[in-house]
Structure 1
Amino acid sequence: MTAHRTQDVVATEAEAAELSMSPLIVTESVRRFLDEHDIGSGPLCIDPIGEGQSNATFRIRRHGADVVLRRGPRPPLPKSTHDMVREARVQAALAQCGFPVPTIRAVESSGSLLGVPFYLMDYLQGDVVTSELPERFAAHERRRELVERTVSTLSGLHSLDVTAGPLSTLGRPDGYLERQVRRFTQLWPQNTLRDLPLMERLSTWLADNRPPTQRHTVIHGDFRIGNLMFANEDHPRVQAVLDWEMATLGDPLADVGYLLATYASRGARPTVMELTTVTRGEGFPNRDEVIKLYSQQSDLNLEKLHWYEVLALWKAAIFCEAIYTRWLQGERPDDAEFSSHLKTGVPELFETAWERTHASPS
């Protein structure tokens, strides 16, 4: 078995019981679960994958199986977050509609094996693009195609029928935007140890300027280039969209605003939410071109799109403040590199969001 830090992966339940901090993986428990579901045979090779700041993801290989285990962070978990059972159900429903998602192999819903529920999905060979660009996409025309495929995948998600069938039960779309503003306003005092007045100003602006929702669709909630798996082909093709924890039914422009908030565009001030930095390079469309690409595939009015980008930046700041606070309280000892940057990174997100409140319609 691959070696890991002690607090992440241990071999036996007895070893786990001796630790002051519960491990993320107990090998004998996972092996037993795979055996019960006829997923391969023999010893396990376990490797962490991804750079998520929230949920944990591991690649697990054994004879006849190559799967990914996805689980929430160590307990205690905030209410209604890190729901791996629901995330698996969302992907299964999308698969029935022909949308590109990984195949779900099994779900452990009780939390009895690892302390939290988890699910297994097939491992996919391909590239997730963040800070490095695969050589086959180096040409400028391939770079533009990559963004075009990203936007067309998003518009395809927003075109799925949610009035009936498996997608109709994924959420309560009415009042989505209002609930988002109210919920995150309430989360702020629980997530912070400092006073940042711009947070309240943004909360008020969002409530006072909330646009009407034009249509209800499936929304991913974390749709960005870094959550797409591109196939090993010369031309960019999205073979799967990953990380569906935030998915629900609601206003599709919330996804577009989030994509813009995380998109690194030449000439724009960087933030800690620019999670795919390669798009600052030559040949990539800028944010205005991304908006145009989406508008060409959607009949939605984008005049108020800046409101949705403000929402995304504001929510991201509140999420990041929770990470920063946990780090200050010693709950994320191995995350100093990212968390320490949030001392200034969170205020900068609020400042960028406030600048966008004055943006002209794109």
Structure 2
Amino acid sequence: MAREGDYFTRLVDPDRLREYLAAELGSVDDDAYAVDHHQEGHSNETLFVRWGERDLVIRRPPPGETASSAHDVLREYRVMDALQATDVPLAPTILACEDHDVLGSDFYVMERVEGDVLRDSEPERFVVPEHREGIGTQLVDTLSTIHAVDPDSVGLGEFGYPDGFTERQVRRWSEQLTWAFSRTTEEREVPVLYDVMSWLTDNVPEEYPHTLVHGDYKLDNVMYAPGTPPKINAVFDWELSTLGDPRTDVGWMLSYWRDADDPEPEVPDLTTTFMEHPEYPTRRELVSRWEDATGFEYEHDRFYRALAVYKLAALGEMFFRRYLEGNSDDDLYPQMETQVPALGERAMRIVEGDEPL
């Protein structure tokens, strides 16, 4: 019924989960219940559940100690639930649970949505110029839709504190990097990240728009519906969403979107490269479309892209710490020993203007 293994048993007790779902959704027959661990993600954990005729998804934090606020799945549920009636494409939300007797952590349940998450390759149905263009325009248009949400109208007016948001981003990610370093420096040090930390601290933009932000917006956190033309039918991974600076979302999206002449990726396992084809829009074209849709200007590019790569390095260092402490079976995590220093060098290239938009 479920994938075997010590790590899987730390994620879920299928019997306890079944009791909970039966109480909330009604009972199903033994052969109509199954739980599997979806291993594509590298942060919060995802479980696929067959419950009678329904296909469900459960999101929960990884087991073991995590950095403060890094895996807040109930926050993720709150914003997804609030946005259900907006134009933002989302999987339907079902349940949120704070009872740690069920899975040992907070978790939530949503309906499973069908489509393609584009990671390693483009679907064959999209391999024509207009659909390749559409993959990029759908990505940036959906981000613009998120930034256009009126937080007060959906009950998210108190979801965050946009004043001082960008400065807090630098401080919070520096704290999480420091949390990871408190263990990982026993293996090796990454001095360039302290230089990036100092530059970001000294160059925080004083003014920026205030909107809902996703916090982890990139190509493989959206799903494209079956069929053509490309259309996004779900945005995932809202755990870092809040009210803040939309340019941080743009910088993060751009840090993953590749142009044809880009250097080799620092983290190949987290890097999609097919958009290097000339039929895809460039980063500059994505920025122009976002500016046209939102009416905002994408200023301070070096800061926002350097911050994005710095955050990715901090995530990688947290992954490395969890690997060293035995709290993950993800093959990516040990690679961070060398890939985080490479990300630090990339962030510094952006700071110094050697990797322009």
TM-score (norm. length: structure 1): 0.90
The alpha carbon displacement at 1:268 in A equals 0.9
CA distance in 1: counterparts of 2:68 and 2:350, whole angstroms: 31
Partner of 2:276: 280
For the pair 1:97 / 2:86, whether they are aligned, the reply is yes
One-letter identity of the residue aligned with 2:19: R
2:98 to 106, 109, 130: 109
1:30 to 9, 12, 17: 17
CA distance in 2: counterparts of 1:81 and 1:102, whole angstroms: 22
TM-score (norm. length: structure 2): 0.91
Task: Evaluate the alpha carbon distance shift between residue 233 and residue 65 of structure 1 in structure 2; reply closer, same or farther with a 3 A threshold.
Answer: same
Which segment drifts farther, 140-149 or 43-52?
Answer: 43-52
The answer on whether the counterparts of 1:39 and 1:65 sit within 8 Å (CA) in structure 2 is no
The alpha carbon displacement at 1:40 in A equals 6.0
Structure 2 counterparts to residues 1-362 of structure 1, below 5 A: 1=1, 3-9=2-8, 23-38=10-25, 41-43=28-30, 44-192=33-181, 193=185, 194-269=188-263, 270-272=265-267, 274-332=270-328, 334-336=329-331, 338-359=332-353
CA distance in 2: counterparts of 1:225 and 1:300, whole angstroms: 22
One-letter identity of the residue aligned with 2:203: N
The alpha carbon displacement at 1:186 in A equals 2.7
The answer on whether the counterparts of 2:258 and 2:275 sit within 8 Å (CA) in structure 1 is yes
CA distance in 2: counterparts of 1:266 and 1:234, whole angstroms: 25
The alpha carbon displacement at 1:314 in A equals 0.6
CA distance in 2: counterparts of 1:118 and 1:331, whole angstroms: 18
Deviations 1:10-59 (A, max 9, x none): 5xxxxxxxxxxxx2111111111111112562231222225111211111
Task: Evaluate the alpha carbon distance shift between residue 94 and residue 165 of structure 1 in structure 2; reply closer, same or farther with a 3 A threshold.
Answer: closer
Partner of 1:14: none
Alpha carbon RMSD of aligned pairs, Å? 2.0
Deviations 1:228-254 (A, max 9, x none): 011112111111101111111100000
One-letter identity of the residue aligned with 2:15: E
Q: Secondary structure at the match of 1:52?
A: coil
One-letter identity of the residue aligned with 1:323: F
Task: Evaluate the alpha carbon distance shift between residue 96 and residue 145 of structure 1 in structure 2; reply closer, same or farther with a 3 A threshold.
Answer: same
CA distance in 2: counterparts of 1:249 and 1:39, whole angstroms: 37
One-letter identity of the residue aligned with 2:209: R
CA distance in 1: counterparts of 2:320 and 2:272, whole angstroms: 21
Deviations 1:74-126 (A, max 9, x none): 13333223222221111011113342111111111122211001111001111
One-letter identity of the residue aligned with 1:34: L
Task: Evaluate the alpha carbon distance shift between residue 173 and residue 184 of structure 1 in structure 2; reply closer, same or farther with a 3 A threshold.
Answer: same
Higher RCO (CA-CA < 8 Å; seq separation 6+): 2
The alpha carbon displacement at 1:344 in A equals 2.1
One-letter identity of the residue aligned with 2:266: T
Q: Secondary structure at the match of 2:319?
A: helix
CA distance in 2: counterparts of 1:246 and 1:36, whole angstroms: 30
CA distance in 2: counterparts of 1:181 and 1:64, whole angstroms: 45
CA distance in 1: counterparts of 2:26 and 2:220, whole angstroms: 28
The answer on whether the counterparts of 1:94 and 1:167 sit within 8 Å (CA) in structure 2 is no
The answer on whether the counterparts of 2:214 and 2:238 sit within 8 Å (CA) in structure 1 is yes
One-letter identity of the residue aligned with 2:226: N
Task: Return 5+ residue gaps in structure 2 as ranges.
Answer: none
The alpha carbon displacement at 1:164 in A equals 4.7
One-letter identity of the residue aligned with 2:330: D
CA distance in 1: counterparts of 2:336 and 2:273, whole angstroms: 18
CA distance in 2: counterparts of 1:9 and 1:195, whole angstroms: 32
CA distance in 1: counterparts of 2:66 and 2:21, whole angstroms: 25
Q: Looking at secondary structure, tell me which structure has more helix per residue.
A: 2
The answer on whether the counterparts of 1:226 and 1:275 sit within 8 Å (CA) in structure 2 is no
CA distance in 1: counterparts of 2:42 and 2:110, whole angstroms: 20
The alpha carbon displacement at 1:317 in A equals 0.5
The answer on whether the counterparts of 2:96 and 2:109 sit within 8 Å (CA) in structure 1 is yes
Task: Return 5+ residue gaps in structure 1 as ranges.
Answer: 11-22
